[in-house]
Amino acid sequence: MGNICRSPTAEEVLRVHARRAGLELHLDSAGTENYHLGEPPDERSIHHAAKRGYDLSGLRARQVGPDDFQDFDLLLAADTLNLGVLRDRCPPEHHGKLALFLGDRALPDPYYGEATDFEKVLDLVEKRADSLIAAWSRPTD
């Protein structure tokens, strides 16, 4: 929602995994709300990601804008609430670009949680990043 926990974590994890796989992707995270515009990710997200070699410190929160629906091939939401907001704002011709990041379930929000919740988010994001990168690396016929 505010682009300070789950989405910047997913952005950086995907960026690192894509780079390792030799994929060049244009990635950017954004929130559906404007709570934290211009702010860095939550300190706990930065801390836990850094323990695994991910640097979120240079990222800044932004809100999804109208151009994002045109400019990106895929817009992945952390949960069904954010997916619904995206659907409401998205032009109908781009609805096919919208999906949940985890595919079939919500990525839990660690904001009001403990350290273990931030670690769980990283576990889920890393696992999903591996599967997305593998799918995107397959040759197309």
Kindly give the confidence (pLDDT) of every residue in the chain, 141 residues in length, as a single tens digit, with 9 standing for 90 and above: 999 999 999 999 999 999 999 999 999 999 999 999 999 999 999 999 999 999 999 999 999 999 999 999 999 999 999 999 999 999 999 999 999 999 999 999 999 999 999 999 999 999 999 999 999 998 765
The CATH number of whichever domain residue 50 belongs to comes to 3.40.50.2300
**pTM greater than 0.85:** yes
Residue 137 lies in a domain: no
100, β-bridge pairs: 77
Instruction: Say how many domains are in the chain.
Output: 1
Residue 123 lies in a domain: yes
Residue (of 11, 101, 77, 9) closest to 46 by Cα position: 9
Residue 27 CA to residue 36 CA, distance in Å, equals 19
